[in-house]
Amino acid sequence: MVTDSTADLPPSWGQRYGIEVVPLRVLFGEESFRDRVDLDEAEFFARLSKARRLPTTSAPSPGDFAAVYERLGRDCDGVISIHIGAQLSGTVEAARLGAESVPGLRVEVVDTRSVTMCVGFLCRLAAEAPSLDQALALVGERLPKLGIIALLDTLRYIEMGGRVGRAQAFLGTVLDLKPILGVSDGVISPLDRVRTRSRGTERILSLLLEAAPLEQVAVMHGNAQAEAEELGRRIESVLPALEVQVAALGTVLATHTGPGALGLAYIKS
């Protein structure tokens, strides 16, 4: 099976579950870096802190996907390819075009209308399924149950990337408040805003608990490992049946969230 680098898979998952990851790219001026391949998170934030202009991002090309599908097609009859939402990136369209250029191989491209570990959880689910049809069914059942809650230090980065959607209404009055955003059906929307980071952490935790019962939860972060681990421990203490994943946002998503982002990706039961 195939996904893209915005799935933010834990490092061990690719090999354990046989998941191929096609990287998006981050561009600092004329320099182009493949997400998590040429540039890791620490290097990215070091560059970002010194950059005069914010980096931009780009989706993989159809040819990038076609090359992966062709290689996988030598050993299998079909591929499921699970990706960041089409309203957030051109990655799904590139995957579809890539699939069309590989005749004779069944490629099922899934638009999750979501991002980060919501995509990652679906990849693991599909990889564990005994057949392609069952993988599609299991993934399809969960698409309406995906949720993301994100606490940002600022809207600056997501605004510059043009991904704010209805959160645009915040921009005139947000001042120094910390925005809390959600992703629903591929659209980024405002959920709340708070004055301090500690209140923001409490608020995203309360929003998560309102969504319970939950099947999967991950805590995502942009250069905020200690806070993410502490939040993960708190979630496990109140939802002890869950194993909470803690993972860093890749460089492409961190371009749009900025440093200090703290988020929750989940699947409802």
8 Å CB contact between 194 and 215: no
Question: What element of type H or E holds 248?
Answer: strand 244-248
For residue 160, pLDDT over 80 is answered with no
Residue 148's pLDDT band, with cuts at 50, 70 and 90, is very high
Sign of CA dihedral 222, 265, 205, 230: negative
Tens-digit pLDDT profile for residues 57-94: 999 999 999 999 999 999 999 999 999 999 999 999 99
Secondary structure (3-state) at 83? strand
Helix axes 117-128, 132-142, angle to 10 degrees: 150
| Alpha helix (H) residue ranges in the chain | 13-17, 41-50, 62-73, 91-100, 117-128, 132-142, 156-160, 197-211, 225-238, 251-257
Q: What average pLDDT does the structure give for the chain?
A: 91
Residue 175's pLDDT band, with cuts at 50, 70 and 90, is low
Q: What is the pLDDT of residue 189?
A: 87
8 Å CB contact between 119 and 220: no
**Euclidean distance between CA atoms 264 and 176, whole angstroms:** 22
**Euclidean distance between CA atoms 106 and 138, whole angstroms:** 18
List every span in the chain annotated with CATH 3.40.50.10170: 2-143
Q: Write down the architecture of domain 145-268 according to CATH.
A: 2-Layer Sandwich (3.30)
First to last CA, the chain: 24
Structure tokens at 166: 């209805």
Q: Which position has the higher pLDDT, 160 or 88? A: 88
Structure tokens at 114: 């979501």
Q: What is the pLDDT of residue 209?
A: 97
Fold adopted by 2-143: Rossmann fold (3.40.50)
Residue 178's pLDDT band, with cuts at 50, 70 and 90, is confident
For residue 263, pLDDT over 60 is answered with yes
8 Å CB contact between 190 and 233: no
8 Å CB contact between 252 and 5: yes
Secondary structure (3-state) at 116? coil
Tens-digit pLDDT profile for residues 195-239: 899 999 999 999 999 999 999 999 999 999 999 999 999 999 999
For residue 172, pLDDT over 50 is answered with no
